[in-house]
Structure 1
């Protein structure tokens, strides 16, 4: 394919070329390959949107192009990983030219290296031996491009929200000026305005540098006008080539809409149907389980100043909310507004700065009125929490063991495990290492591990992150059925379609501009 012609400034980097011939990869401990028989050419400066259902190997391909696939792949797995065919960047092995590509992973938490914002952005460029007098202009430019220029350069990275860390990871890549930019779900944890900000930041970088782009994103509409070509992958069954179809965005979307929706691709204007309640059919209020009264929240701990105990500065305050049986509560608002911090406080995992979170007798069942003071066993079977980063919940080396861990420690039956595996499309992964799953599979597993303990209240942070349209519909349907059965569901989300599918009420937190994030 000839190199695309973009109206751009002269190249400030050398754009990379990608060539794959019969390339495949099987993760350690997995019976089937993640990618099989991939034939693909990407011209220097071309912009490609990589689509496909959850588990189709999109993240695997990006890690391979970055030269980091296999670094941790064999940890905890039975046997070794297996590579077939060839995958080249500029005619050479990706592992032999690390730094040629800049990879933004699905979980930005894994890419935060240093404790201060500016240092973290500069880290990649410093490791590429960029002259010092060139690094700091790049840092300032990258922070402005991703919408973080309002933060002090010494702002602690630990105080950033998940969405802000996503922007920070992108800034670090832009400051490196790589010839190949690899983005894995770059807007998944961002508020709607942030999605457009990040996309536009990428566009500006491409226009300035002429770099080659490969972006993985489930929702097509955000990127289709920025890319030259769509490539759709299918799961690596070993029976058919990896590429299902490819071509210019408008042609692919027009000619293959039915095929794409069947494959779980979020084509523009498509929202899959779900089972269970609809928003307009949500029943009346159930019994009160949890109440937040004039709540102030922070992830920081109180500190001592002499003999005085100084409370942390709250990220959000004055929150009042109720959680009722059989009802959904959607917590929305911009990145950095304290949504995740509020959810963790509501779930009894963080102590309130002020105000209170109180449980009624219907939920506490003798454990006391304050969830933060409950023992771990009491909390797990009453309030189950799905963290924003799925890896933070994994404690074993096998998918099945993850699902059995909670019920066994609580002395519960294990009869629900098979249902969860089937409903959340994890049955074929029972023997896999959780850390080798795709981002969407990790998210479904993290939800399943909490559901296995049958809590009365379910608190989910970005539950639809990384889901194709089919797995999104299954998850939304399952949660709707739990609501119908009397479970309360609290979800921190930017997903308007998900909020509509579950119904209930919305708690919108305002941007926390006057207080520390």
Structure 2
């Protein structure tokens, strides 16, 4: 790989830049003006929905043309329009799986270089150097599906590094990773920056992990439709001078933790779902966790924790009646099942609606309607509820989860945090007695995190049973959850 001095870091400039999705009346963000010097390391902050990811996607040149939306102002890399400078940028997204393209590690890292027309011999020299730089010590022919979440993020970083970008863009790259995976990715970025001098822009809600690595903070206002940049400078200066204002805007400011709800108002109630010697699997014959004994009780929260790849999401989907047990017993009580029978996997979708609601790890996997309000109405309408009651339920959820201004928006144009709140709201719209949530707080700013946790605590206090799959240990503490920690199988 070329030495650090051979690769020119990119300069970034925005001049009154804004973007509006074609299906939206409101601008995703507007009036953004900033200048980033070559080689600077910037942490981009702002409330959920402020437009941070939109800005990164604009810099990466992947927002699309006129048919995708409307642009104003200028967004420049090295003085030329960002859309014409794609070869200068590398983009790493928050979801590790969404970035894996090819079946083998080496081929996946080489993919971007091949698109740039780099000679074959040079490609493989870059691939090996990139894998070494990010600390991904696996053979080129290792199957990408065999990698953990942290390893997949390092794979994505290696793919970007191999292209030798002048600008590296990281969009919440640790959002779905366990604590060890978070540190793995941060350290991989650190090694990458040591290997080549690159301008860095990181979008994250939580600052602590990235503060040692960055030298500048830029904050976009929580009204992405026109607030522009509201703070810009050295991290210590910005946080000292505007920490209180930023905390009110939803930024995760160190030392200013969100408020936790009060403890449960009553002890856990009856068992609604019981598992004995349960084994779970995504693929028949490939068990990922076994020997699980657990009860899901009314008026309580069960938190499923553990490192990436140990079967947490698979267990959640099994408890939700969406995957068959691979072994053991999973029984619903009469109080939950009623006339549906004791085995959730045998329930029809309509029977599940009022019994067990599920929020998938990836919001896009359960979006069905063309508008946010329509998404919330799908479940209640399937139950045959009167339109007036459907409207009451959806309006209440829209307001409580800060989605009311987005009621007519296409769900796919929402930010990651907004999509997460939408899928939580959609699950709540049918008022199930059990709610299974996979990473319910990812993509949330401090304000929406606090509001979402308060809503879940209210559901618990009202007698609902909650199961949350999470790496966010603050959720466990805030909800006074019983913790079930899965470990890797030997």
TM-score norm. by structure 2 comes to 0.94
- Give the 5 Å matches for 1:380-391: 380-391=353-364
Structure 1 contact 33–236 (Cα < 8 Å) conserved: no
The alignment of Structure 1 onto Structure 2 pairs a total of residues equal to: 485
Q: Please give the alpha-carbon distance, in whole angstroms, between the structure 2 residues aligned to 1:254 and 1:73.
A: 43
CA distance in 2, matches of 1:136, 1:144: 12
Look up the match of 1:308.
none
Distance 1:152 1:128, change over 3 A: closer
- Aligned-pair distance for 1:398? 0.6
- Give the C-alpha shift of residue 171 in structure 1: 3.3
**Distance in 1 of aligned mates of 2:24 and 2:274:** 45
Instruction: Tell me, yes or no, if structure 1 residue 243 matches structure 2 residue 226.
Output: no
Q: Which shifted more, 376-385 or 476-485? A: 376-385
Query: Any conservation in 2 of the 1:297–1:341 contact (CA below 8 Å)?
Result: yes
Deviation at 1:340, TM superposition (A): 0.9
Residue number in structure 2 paired with 1:298: 281
1:109–1:165: 8 Å Cα contact kept in structure 2? yes
- CA distance 1:50–1:317, change in 2 (3 Å): same
Asked if 1:118 is matched to 2:106, the reply is yes
Distance 1:173 1:420, change over 3 A: same
CA contact (8 A) 1:143 1:149 kept: yes
Using a 3 Å threshold, how does the CA distance of structure 1 residues 359 and 384 change in structure 2: closer, same or farther? same
Matching of residues 276-287 of structure 1 within 5 Å: 277-278=262-263, 281=264, 283-287=266-270
Which residue of structure 1 aligns with residue 310 of structure 2? 337
Aligned-partner Cα distance in 2 for 1:320–1:144: 42
Residue 252 (structure 2) pairs with residue 266 (structure 1): yes
Cα distance, 1:136 vs. partner? Answer: 3.7
Rounded Cα–Cα distance in structure 2 between residues aligned with 1:142 and 1:351: 41
Per-residue deviation at 1:239?
Answer: 5.1
Query: What is the 5 A alignment of 1:181-330?
Result: 181-236=168-223, 238=225, 240=227, 242-275=228-261, 277-278=262-263, 281=264, 283-301=266-284, 312-330=285-303
SS at match of 1:187: coil
What's the CA shift for 1:173? 2.0
Partner of 2:368: 395
1:399-478 map, 5 Å: 399-412=372-385, 413-414=389-390, 415-478=392-455
1:464 Cα deviation from its structure 2 partner: 0.6
CA distance in structure 1 between the partners assigned to 2:225 and 2:181 by the alignment: 38
Residue 324 of structure 1: how far off its partner (Å): 0.5
Aligned partners of 2:362 and 2:342: how far apart in 1?
29
Give the Cα–Cα distance (whole angstroms) in 1 for the partners of residues 107 and 452 of structure 2.
Answer: 39
Question: Displacement, 1:365?
Answer: 1.1
Separation of aligned partners in 2, 1:465 and 1:62: 18
Contact 1:12–1:208 (8 Å) recurs in 2: no
Return the alpha-carbon distance in structure 1 between the equivalents of residues 233 and 79 of structure 2.
23
What residue number does 2:480 align with? 503
User: Contact between 1:73 and 1:436, CA under 8 Å: does it hold in 2?
Assistant: no
Note closer, same or farther for the CA distance 1:428–1:223 as it changes in structure 2 (3 Å cut).
Answer: same
Give, in whole Å, the separation in 1 of the partners of 2:128 and 2:288: 25
Cα distance, 1:337 vs. partner? 1.3
Q: TM-score, normalised by structure 1?
A: 0.89
Matches of 2:423 and 2:467, distance apart in 1: 15
Instruction: Name the CA shift for 1:161/1:455 in 2 (closer, same or farther; >3 Å).
Output: farther
Please list the CA deviations of residues 174-204 of structure 1 after superposition, one character each: whole Å capped at 9, or x if unmatched.
3322111100001111111111110111011
Alpha-carbon separation, structure 1, partners of 2:34 and 2:432: 46
Deviation at 1:364, TM superposition (A): 1.0
Give the match's secondary structure for 2:14.
strand
Say what the alpha-carbon RMSD is for the aligned residues.
2.1
1:51 to 38, 45, 48: 45
Preserved CA contact (<8 Å) 2:363 2:419? yes
Q: Secondary structure at the match of 1:220?
A: coil
Q: Deviations over 1:393-431 (max 9, x none)?
A: 101111010000111012234132111101100000001
Q: Note closer, same or farther for the CA distance 1:127–1:186 as it changes in structure 2 (3 Å cut).
A: same
Deviation at 1:162? 5.3
Secondary structure of the structure 2 residue equivalent to 1:298: strand
User: Which residue, out of 56, 78, 82, partners 2:70?
Assistant: 82
Which secondary structure does the structure 2 equivalent of 1:314 belong to?
Answer: strand
> How far, CA to CA, are the matches of 1:321 and 1:141 in structure 2?
46
Unmatched tracts of structure 1, length 5 or more: 1-8, 75-80, 302-311
Deviation string 1:218-268 (CA, Å, 9 cap, x unpaired) is 00111112111000001456554x000110011111121101111111111
Aligned-partner SS, 1:458: strand
Query: Structure 1 residues 117, 317: CA separation in 2 closer, same or farther (over 3 Å shift)?
Result: farther
User: Does the CA-based 8 Å contact 1:140-1:149 persist in structure 2?
Assistant: no
Does structure 2 retain, via aligned residues, the 8 Å contact 1:288–1:322?
A: yes
